[in-house]
Amino acid sequence: MAGGYVDCHCHMTAEEFSQDTADILERSRKEGVRALVSVTEHAGELESLLHLSQRYPNYVMPCFGIHPIQSKAEGYRSVTLQDLEPALEEFEKYKDHLVGVGEIGLDFTPWLAPTSKEREEQLKVFQIQLDIAKRMDLPVNVHSRSAGRQAIAFLKEQGAERVLLHNFAGRPSVALEGVQAGYFFSFPPAVANNDQREKLIRQIPMENICLETDSPALGPHRQERNEPSNIYIPCEYIARVKGLSSEKVCEVTAHNAFRLFPKIQHKLNV
């Protein structure tokens, strides 16, 4: 694909990639991925992400944040301010290396955040990281599961300007409020498996759409590990829904990614 894809949201420091990272990145280059934005979920990931971005300069672009859902030995739980604490000085220390802040946001899945106390704490953790992004003049990479309306309303209320709502699954009317605020929306390979998002994608203008894989999750086959090399799948799906060529979708989404993440544009000299 001329120019190449930009994967705006993947997890290159995920445990699933730990054994064959070099092979995965080689496949993604061959598939035409020009750059990928790798996000974190907890403070412990930053060191390995920075190390990876040093090994693959101007290719693996680091994005650091604390996810609204944290894993624990027996499953998952809603984020707390204590989870954010160790990340605060890391933001300050490594701000020049980061292209964005993320993965941050809200996850109001009923069994993961059943109480208003947990949801309020998620909002506080989100707010602090939005403030950090604003202070550092960095875009935010946002998770909004079961909280699309709340996330967009909160982002607007907080004055966030450069925003990517990754794997957005809210109503088209809610998404259009984000579009009016200048926000971007990205979609992973899993969207091609059913047509639930077709109406949503049809209504979001191309100038507000980016590509992502969210790998190792949300691939074309639920039971298989997803990789950045699958970026062509959402590209082709969006092209079909929009009645455009895949080349055009690749070109426009890459251009959108450079607008959203100016540091990537600078690193690639485009």
User: Which residue is listed with tokens 């000299």?
Assistant: 269
Asked whether the predicted pLDDT for residue 73 surpasses 80, the reply is no
The mean pLDDT of 74-87, rounded to a whole number, is: 95
- Which pLDDT score, from 0 to 100, does residue 142 have? 98
CATH code of 35's domain: 3.20.20.140
The mean pLDDT of 145-173, rounded to a whole number, is: 98
Task: Label residue 139 by pLDDT band (50, 70, 90).
Answer: very high
Q: C-alpha 108: how far from its chain's center?
A: 18
Residues 232, 213: Cα–Cα separation, whole Å: 9
Residues 183, 164: Cα–Cα separation, whole Å: 6
- Which pLDDT score, from 0 to 100, does residue 2 have? 61
Determine the 3-state secondary structure of 172 from DSSP: helix
The mean pLDDT of 150-175, rounded to a whole number, is: 98
Asked whether the predicted pLDDT for residue 232 surpasses 90, the reply is yes
The mean pLDDT of 43-65, rounded to a whole number, is: 97
The percent of residues above 70 in pLDDT, for the chain, comes to 99
The mean pLDDT of 223-228, rounded to a whole number, is: 96
pLDDT digits (tens, 9 = 90+) for 113-135: 999 999 999 999 999 999 999 99
Degrees to nearest 5, angle at CA 165 with 163 and 169: 160
Mean pLDDT, the chain, rounded, equals 96
Q: Which domain holds residue 81?
A: 5-268
- Which pLDDT score, from 0 to 100, does residue 269 have? 83
Measured over the CA atoms of residue 160, residue 161, residue 167 and residue 172, the dihedral's sign is: positive
Asked whether the predicted pLDDT for residue 1 surpasses 70, the reply is no
The percent of residues above 90 in pLDDT, for the chain, comes to 95
The mean pLDDT of 82-94, rounded to a whole number, is: 96
Phi and psi for 147 in degrees, rounded to 5?
-155, 30
Tell me how many domains the chain contains.
Answer: 1
Asked whether the predicted pLDDT for residue 270 surpasses 80, the reply is no
Q: What is the pTM of this model?
A: 0.97
Measured over the CA atoms of residue 226, residue 229, residue 231 and residue 237, the dihedral's sign is: negative
- Which pLDDT score, from 0 to 100, does residue 74 have? 79
3-state helix, strand, coil in the chain (%, to 5): 50, 20, 30
